[in-house]
Amino acid sequence: MAMAMYKIRIIANACITRYDDGERELPDIVNSYNLSTDDATLVKAEIATNRPDITI
């Protein structure tokens, strides 16, 4: 079962913040949260919606 959407948005925003701070590449950041495949897909979609300038 997929994670609640508010949690997806929180993780997506955290990933964007970490990426903007120059921590790592975005796929590495998303993978560091150890999400299921479905949840990772939702996080990446949320990132793409909020920041279309970031390539995932």
pLDDT tens sequence across 4-45: 999 999 999 999 999 999 999 999 999 999 999 999 999 999
CB atoms within 10 A of CB 33: 12
pTM of the model: 0.92
Query: Do 18 and 9 contact (CB within 8 A), yes or no?
Result: no
Secondary structure letter of residue 23 according to DSSP: -
- Cα–Cα distance list, 43 to 17, 25 (Å): 13, 15
| Residue 47 near residue 20, CB atoms below 8 Å | no
